[in-house]
């Protein structure tokens, strides 16, 4: 059976749409911009168990630092940079699906309760924070230490 030019174009478009739909969970999530001079304060009141949110902080020198706040099923909020120790070189970061933080390069999956444990050489880079009630405080100096990851 011979494909016409239009048929071939439609086939390519259909395959591209199918590939995009299949990769949907691997797309980079958006991030909420945060600001602060010495400390960045983020409310976690709307961060439900088994979910995570992505944040971006722009340094005075213009670097964009991304980080994740994740509340595990245990209710504890954990923070990591949106990068891992091995895969950061490719600037892919993570995505979240079904209670897991997923590396967008190698595909390793981390339960939100265990994001600080890591697997093999792909380990989320921890970000120090302080929690006060429904707020997480991250020192700007701690964020700036992660600038080489981005």
Which pLDDT belongs to residue 4?
74
Strand ranges (DSSP E) for the chain?
Answer: 32-34, 39-43, 51-58, 64-71, 77-84, 94-97, 100-103, 109-111, 124-126, 130-132, 135-139
**CA atoms in the 13 A half-sphere facing the CB of 89:** 5
- Span 55-111, pLDDT tens digits: 999 999 999 999 999 999 999 999 999 998 888 999 999 999 999 999 999 999 999
For residue 105, what pLDDT is reported?
A: 93
Dist CA 74 CA 21 (whole Å): 32
The residues, any chain, with a CB within 8 Å of residue 63's CB and separated by 6 or more, are 144, 147, 150
């Amino acid at each position: 059976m011979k494909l016409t030019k239009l048929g071939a174009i439609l086939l390519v478009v259909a395959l591209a749409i199918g590939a995009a739909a299949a990769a949907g969970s691997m797309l980079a999530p958006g991030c909420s911009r945060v600001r602060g001079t010495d400390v960045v304060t983020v409310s976690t009141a709307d961060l439900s168990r088994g979910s995570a949110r992505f944040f971006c902080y722009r340094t005075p020198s213009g670097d964009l630092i991304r980080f994740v706040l994740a509340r595990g099923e245990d209710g504890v909020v954990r923070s990591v940079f949106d990068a891992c120790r091995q895969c950061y070189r490719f600037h892919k970061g993570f995505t979240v699906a079904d209670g897991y933080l997923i590396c967008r390069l190698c595909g390793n999956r981390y339960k939100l309760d265990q994001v600080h444990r890591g697997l093999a050489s792909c380990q989320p880079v921890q970000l120090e924070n302080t929690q006060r009630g429904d707020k997480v405080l991250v020192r700007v100096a701690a964020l700036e230490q992660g600038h080489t990851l981005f």
